[in-house]
Amino acid sequence: MLENWVVMPTCLPLVRRRCHACGAGHFRASGKFRVNAHHKLLDVWLLVLCTGCGDTAKLTVLERANVRSVQPDLLDRLHANDLALTAELLQDPVVRRRNRVALDWAGAWRLDTGGSDHLDREVIDIAVRFAARIPVRPVRLIAEGCGLPRAEVESLITEGRLVSTARLNTRLSDNFTFILKR
């Protein structure tokens, strides 16, 4: 029987970026946008706050975009400081690359296994789904979900009792399945 696990965000991740004021390495998203109009052109920034000193920095979302090219519902969400839009834009690889930032998901996600009644079976078939693009090592997820130490999960992989089509020793943010034979 296939069990489903879900990796879910619990809060917005921190943004890895050096603060020019205090030198701290992380910012937290404020959930607010700044929209600036230059005649028929728009600039849009996502405001982030330094975790060390509270200084504000801007992450560029749109730069000199024609007003007609921006969808009206997106513009409404920007003006309303939509928190869901903040989460979407933080995960957008184009926005991260444009601003040369990375996300720190430490402590910002949880694994929902749906209970532990499946752990006593001889063969466990599990599908892991990611609700957001959270890079996590599958070995860590399996260890946490099955209540095993990571070293034991590593030994199960080498013994061939833990099998998956995905590479379990690298960070993944895509859905995968695995079979654990006890």
CA R_g for the chain: 21
Write out pLDDT tens, residues 110-142.
999 887 666 677 888 999 999 988 999 999 999
Of 3 and 36, the one with more pLDDT: 36
Average pLDDT, the chain: 92
Strand residues in 98-145 grouped as ranges (E): 102-104, 109-112, 123-130
DSSP SS3 for 162: strand
- The residue-averaged pLDDT of 18-32 equals 94
Q: Alpha-carbon distance 124 to 101, whole Å?
A: 38
Which pLDDT belongs to residue 117? 66
Residue type, 169: N
Write out pLDDT tens, residues 31-75.
999 999 998 999 999 999 999 999 999 999 999 999 999 999 999
Do residues 3 and 124 touch, judged by C-beta distance below 8 A? yes
- The residue-averaged pLDDT of 70-90 equals 95
Which pLDDT belongs to residue 124? 87
**Structure tokens that stand for 166 in this block:** 């995905």
What confidence tier does 182 reach under pLDDT thresholds 50, 70, 90? Answer: confident
Name the strand (E) or helix (H) holding 154: helix 150-159
pTM reported for the whole predicted model: 0.80
Q: Alpha-carbon distance 52 to 12, whole Å?
A: 17
Do residues 155 and 180 touch, judged by C-beta distance below 8 A? no
Which pLDDT belongs to residue 118? 65
